[in-house]
A and B are shown apart, each in its own frame.
Chain A
Amino acid sequence: MTEPTTSQGRKIFKPPFGWKFPDKVVWTKRTKADFRTGMLFLSPWLIGFLAFTLYPMVVSFYYSFTIYHSRRAPEWVGLQNYKDLLTDEKFWIALNNTMYMVAIAVPLGLFASFLCAVLLNLKVRGQAFYRVVYFLPSIVPTVAGTILFLWLLNPQVGLVNTLLAQIGIDGPNWMADPNWSKPALILLGMWGMGGTIIIYLSGLQDVPQSLIEAAELDGANWLQRLWHITIPMVSPITLFNLITGMIGMFQYFAQAYVVGGGDSLGRPLNSTLFYSVYLYQNAFLFLKMGYASAMAWILFIIILIFTLLLLKVSDRFTYYAG
C-alpha cells in the first residue's frame, strides 16, 4: 500500500484510528464572533487546564531532570533520576504490584461487571431493585469502603473467614499476608464496580432487538446470542471500560493508602506498595520531588504505550455499528 503524498512527493500526515480533520473553516465575521463567544464560555475550563494541568505537567517534566529544592533553584542532574529509578528495587516492586493489579483486577472486573449487567438486564420481577443494590456500593466513599473491607476480611473476627470456616475452609490472613493482600484489594474493587455495570447496562440496552430476534428465529440459544451478538455489539463499551479501568488501576492509590494507614504504606512486605503510593512517598514523605516527577513521567509513558496498544489492537475485537 502506498502512502499518500503531495505533488512534491512529501508524505501527507494521515490521522490514526480513522480520525478525520474537520472541513476547512471559512472565517467570516460571524464565525469569528461565534469563536470569541465560544472561547469566552470555554475560558474557565481553559484557564483551569492551562494553570492547573498543563503548566504543572510541563514543570514536572523539567523537575524530573533536577533535584528539586523548595526554596532554592532546582539542581539540574540530567537523566540521573531516571537512572536511579532503574536501579531502585522498590520502584520495580511497585511497578510489579501495579502490573499485577492491571493484569488481573481489570479483566476480572470487566468480566464480572459484564456478567452482572447481563443479569441485571434480564426482565425479572424486582429488576430496578437489583440494579440499585448492585450500584449502591459505588456511592460508598473509598475510605469507608476500604475500612469496611478491612473488617470483613479480618482473619479472626471477619465475616468472610467466619463463613469460610462454616464450610470447612481455613481462611487466609488476607491483608496481613503478602500473598493475599492484593487479591483482597481486588475483591474490594469488585465490590464497587457499580459504575462499570451501569455503563455496560446502557450498552446492552442499545443492542438492536431485531438482531436478537433474528438469531432466535434461526434457533440460536441464549449463550450463542450472547457470544455472537451481544458481546460484539457492546465491544466499544468494553474497550472504553478497559482503557479507563487500566488507567485507573495504574494510578491505584486511595485503597492502598487506607490499608497502609499512612505510616505502614506498602505493608505487608511491600505487597501493597503500588506505583502511585511509592510516588507519593517520594514526593511528600521523602521530599524528593524531582525523583517523584521522574516517576510520574515514566507512569505517563507506560499508560500512553498501553493505551495506544489497546487502541491499535482494538480494531480486531471492536465492532462499531454503522
Chain B
Amino acid sequence: MKKVFGLLSVLMILSILLSACGGSSAATDVKVLRVWVQWGDNPAQIQTLFDKYTAETGIKVEVTAPLADDKILPALTGSEPPDVLVLSGGDLAKSFYKEGLVDELSGAIKAGNIDMADFYTAPLTQCQQGDLILCLPWGTDAYALFWNKDMFEAAGLDPEVPPATMEELVEFADKLTVVGADGTIEQIGFIPNHSWSHTDLYVRNFGGFWYSDDGSTLTANSQPMIDALTWQQQFFTKYGVDNVQAFSSGFGEYGSPDAPFYAGKVAMMVEGEWQTGPNFIPALKPELNYGVTAFPPPADHPERAGTIVNQGTAVVIPSGAPNKDASAKLLAWMMSPAIVAEEFCFNANLPTSKKAAEDPCFKELGDKFQVFVDLMSSKNAFAVLTTPLSFELNDALGSAEEEILLTGADPKELLDAIQAEFEPKLKEAMK
C-alpha cells in the first residue's frame, strides 16, 4: 500500500512538472491563431472583427486584449508567443527586435502582398529602422488644438478664430485665464502638458525633434528642444506652479463629463482625434461648443502650419510564432483597407491606409474628425520617432520636462545632461 501511495505521489508530481514545462508543437495545419492586443477598450469588438477572418478562412482567431505591459515580455520569451502582437507604439517593436523577439517584416509583407504605398508616410516611419521594417502601423493618433468657443466669447475673443501662432496662443491663454482675489486659479486658458506631455508636437513646431530625422542621432539638447520646453515653462511660472498644480488636481476624470475642457475649466487643449468621436465629446458633453484646428506654428515660421505628430498602434510578428505563413496572412488581412476602415471608424481613430481614409464612414464621424484626416496628408505630418532606447530615453525626457515645468529649472542644463548620458547608449543600441 505504501509503495502504491509513493508511486502515485511521484507520478503526480512528475505529471505536474511535465505539464508545466510542456510546449506546443508547431502546427502545420493551422486551426487557431492567437492575436494579443496591448490596448483595447473594447475587447469584444476586436474579437468580432477577427471573427470575420474566421468566417473567410475557417481559421479561428483568439483575441486577448487589453494586455498588461509586463505580460508582453514573458509572452514573447515563452514557448507559446502569440501569432500576431498588436503593440501600442513602434518604440517597443524596436526594443523587441533588438532582443530578437520579433521578426523583420519584409518577408511577410512580400508574402502577404501588402501595398506599402498605401500607408501614410508618417505612421510608417515609426516602424522603420534604416531599411528594416519592424512593424506595420494599424491605425494612429494625431494631436491638434481644441478651443472652447463659449469661453472665447466670454473672454472677448472671436469664438470662430483660434490662435494663428504660438505667440497668439499665449496671448489668448492670458485672456482666458481667470485668477480669483486670493490668487487661486478659477479658469485657465491653456496647460501645455494637459493630459500628458505634448513636447513632441511643440518641438516639431519649433523645427526639430530629440532624434535626427533618420532616428540615428540623438538631438536632445538641440535648440528646438530647448525652445519647446522654455515655451511651455511660461504657463507655469506666470501663474505659479503651486496654483496651477492645485487647480489641475481638482480636474474631473479623463473621459468623464467632468473632464476640465468639457467642464469649462480649461479653454484650449491639445488632444487627439478620438475626442471628436462618438465615445467622447458627443457622448459625454454633446452641447459643448468647440472647434478643432492644427496646432499653430511660431509666428516667424508660417511654413510649419499644419504640423501634426502621429503615434499609434504597431503590429509585429513574434519571432517565436509557430506558423509564420499563417501570421503573415493574418497580418495582410489586418492591413487591408476595408478592415482598417472598419476597425478605426468604430474606434474613431485615424486610418493608416490612404484607401481606408476614403471610406465614407470617416466622413460620418463629422467635420471635426475630418480636420484630423486632412492633416494626415499635411506636408508637416511627422511621427514620434522611435529607437530601441525610446522607453528609457522618454522616461528621462519626461523627468526633465517635469523638473523644467515644475521647478523652473534651466532646460539647457538638463537636456545637456540627457544628451551626454544617452548619446553613447543610442550608438550602442543602434549597432
Q: Which of chain B's residues has its CB closest to A263's CB?
A: B196
Interchain CB contact under 8 A, A156 and B395: no
Interface residues of B: mostly helix, strand, loop or mixed? helix
Q: Which of chain B's residues has its CB closest to A282's CB?
A: B392
* Among A70, A266, A267, contact of B99 (Cβ-Cβ < 8 Å): A70
Chain A residues, CB < 8 A from B398 = 264
Chain B interface residue count, CB cutoff 8 Å, equals 32
14 residue pairs bridging A and B, Cβ less than 8 Å apart = A44-B13, A70-B76, A70-B77, A71-B319, A155-B246, A156-B246, A156-B249, A156-B250, A177-B245, A267-B402, A281-B395, A286-B395, A287-B99, A287-B391
Chain A residues, CB < 8 A from B395 = 265, 281, 285-286
Q: Tell me if A157 counts as interface (CB < 8 A to partner B).
A: yes
- Please report the C-alpha to C-alpha distance between residue A250 and residue B245 in the assembled complex, in whole angstroms: 30
Chain A residues, CB < 8 A from B187 = none
Q: Tell me if B9 counts as interface (CB < 8 A to partner A).
A: yes
Interchain CB contact under 8 A, B99 and A71: yes
Residue interface bits A218-253, CB-to-B below 8 A is 1, else 0 = 000000000000000000000000000000000000
- Please report the C-alpha to C-alpha distance between residue A72 and residue B392 in the assembled complex, in whole angstroms: 21
| Interface members, chain B 387-417 (any A CB < 8 Å) | 391-392, 395, 398-399, 402-403, 406-407
Known: A155-B246, A156-B249. 10 other contacts (CB 8 A): A70-B99, A71-B101, A71-B319, A176-B248, A177-B242, A269-B402, A270-B399, A285-B391, A286-B395, A287-B99
Q: Tell me if B17 counts as interface (CB < 8 A to partner A).
A: yes
Q: Tell me if B6 counts as interface (CB < 8 A to partner A).
A: yes
Q: Tell me if B69 counts as interface (CB < 8 A to partner A).
A: yes
Q: Tell me if B70 counts as interface (CB < 8 A to partner A).
A: yes
- Please report the C-alpha to C-alpha distance between residue A164 and residue B391 in the assembled complex, in whole angstroms: 40
B101–chain A nearest beta-carbon distance, Å = 6
Residue interface bits B336-380, CB-to-A below 8 A is 1, else 0 = 000000000000000000000000000000000000000000000
- Please report the C-alpha to C-alpha distance between residue A36 and residue B7 in the assembled complex, in whole angstroms: 12
Q: Tell me if B73 counts as interface (CB < 8 A to partner A).
A: yes
Q: Tell me if B95 counts as interface (CB < 8 A to partner A).
A: yes
Chain B residues, CB < 8 A from A284 = 69-70, 73
B416–chain A nearest beta-carbon distance, Å = 14
Interchain CB contact under 8 A, B245 and A40: no
Q: Tell me if A54 counts as interface (CB < 8 A to partner B).
A: no
- Please report the C-alpha to C-alpha distance between residue A242 and residue B99 in the assembled complex, in whole angstroms: 42
Interchain CB contact under 8 A, B406 and A268: yes
- Please report the C-alpha to C-alpha distance between residue A262 and residue B38 in the assembled complex, in whole angstroms: 14
Q: Tell me if A205 counts as interface (CB < 8 A to partner B).
A: no
- Please report the C-alpha to C-alpha distance between residue A157 and residue B17 in the assembled complex, in whole angstroms: 53
Interchain CB contact under 8 A, A269 and B70: no
Q: Tell me if A154 counts as interface (CB < 8 A to partner B).
A: yes
| Interface members, chain B 9-30 (any A CB < 8 Å) | 9, 13, 17
* Among B9, B70, B245, B392, contact of A173 (Cβ-Cβ < 8 Å): B245
Q: Tell me if A69 counts as interface (CB < 8 A to partner B).
A: yes
Chain A interface residue count, CB cutoff 8 Å, equals 34
Interchain CB contact under 8 A, B245 and A70: no
- Please report the C-alpha to C-alpha distance between residue A280 and residue B246 in the assembled complex, in whole angstroms: 30
Assuming A176-B249, A267-B402, is B69 touching A69 (CB within 8 A)?
Answer: no
Chain A residues, CB < 8 A from B242 = 173, 177
Q: Tell me if B247 counts as interface (CB < 8 A to partner A).
A: yes
Q: Tell me if A47 counts as interface (CB < 8 A to partner B).
A: yes
Q: Tell me if A53 counts as interface (CB < 8 A to partner B).
A: no
Q: Tell me if B302 counts as interface (CB < 8 A to partner A).
A: no
- Please report the C-alpha to C-alpha distance between residue A177 and residue B244 in the assembled complex, in whole angstroms: 12
Chain A residues, CB < 8 A from B70 = 280, 284
| Interface members, chain A 169-218 (any B CB < 8 Å) | 173-177
| Cβ-closest 7 pairs across A and B | A156-B250, A71-B100, A286-B392, A155-B249, A284-B70, A70-B77, A70-B99
Residue interface bits A47-74, CB-to-B below 8 A is 1, else 0 = 1000000000000000000000111100
- Please report the C-alpha to C-alpha distance between residue A205 and residue B398 in the assembled complex, in whole angstroms: 52
B39–chain A nearest beta-carbon distance, Å = 12
Interchain CB contact under 8 A, A173 and B246: yes
Chain B residues, CB < 8 A from A36 = 6
Chain A residues, CB < 8 A from B69 = 262, 284-285
Assuming A47-B13, A156-B250, A173-B245, is B402 touching A268 (CB within 8 A)?
Answer: yes
Q: Tell me if A31 counts as interface (CB < 8 A to partner B).
A: no
Chain A residues, CB < 8 A from B406 = 268-269
Residue interface bits B159-171, CB-to-A below 8 A is 1, else 0 = 0000000000000
Chain B residues, CB < 8 A from A174 = 249
Q: Tell me if A127 counts as interface (CB < 8 A to partner B).
A: no
Chain A residues, CB < 8 A from B407 = 269
- Please report the C-alpha to C-alpha distance between residue A270 and residue B196 in the assembled complex, in whole angstroms: 16
B32–chain A nearest beta-carbon distance, Å = 24
- Please report the C-alpha to C-alpha distance between residue A44 and residue B12 in the assembled complex, in whole angstroms: 10
B322–chain A nearest beta-carbon distance, Å = 15
- Please report the C-alpha to C-alpha distance between residue A174 and residue B69 in the assembled complex, in whole angstroms: 28
Chain B residues, CB < 8 A from A156 = 246-247, 249-250
Q: Which of chain B's residues has its CB closest to A40's CB?
A: B9
| Interface members, chain A 91-144 (any B CB < 8 Å) | none
- Please report the C-alpha to C-alpha distance between residue A156 and residue B9 in the assembled complex, in whole angstroms: 61
Chain A residues, CB < 8 A from B100 = 69-72
Chain B residues, CB < 8 A from A70 = 73, 76-77, 99-101
B423–chain A nearest beta-carbon distance, Å = 16
- Please report the C-alpha to C-alpha distance between residue A30 and residue B69 in the assembled complex, in whole angstroms: 53
- Please report the C-alpha to C-alpha distance between residue A156 and residue B250 in the assembled complex, in whole angstroms: 5
- Please report the C-alpha to C-alpha distance between residue A72 and residue B407 in the assembled complex, in whole angstroms: 43
Chain B residues, CB < 8 A from A47 = 13, 17
Interchain CB contact under 8 A, B249 and A173: yes
Interchain CB contact under 8 A, B13 and A43: yes
Residue interface bits B281-303, CB-to-A below 8 A is 1, else 0 = 00000000000000000000000
- Please report the C-alpha to C-alpha distance between residue A178 and residue B200 in the assembled complex, in whole angstroms: 25
- Please report the C-alpha to C-alpha distance between residue A280 and residue B69 in the assembled complex, in whole angstroms: 11
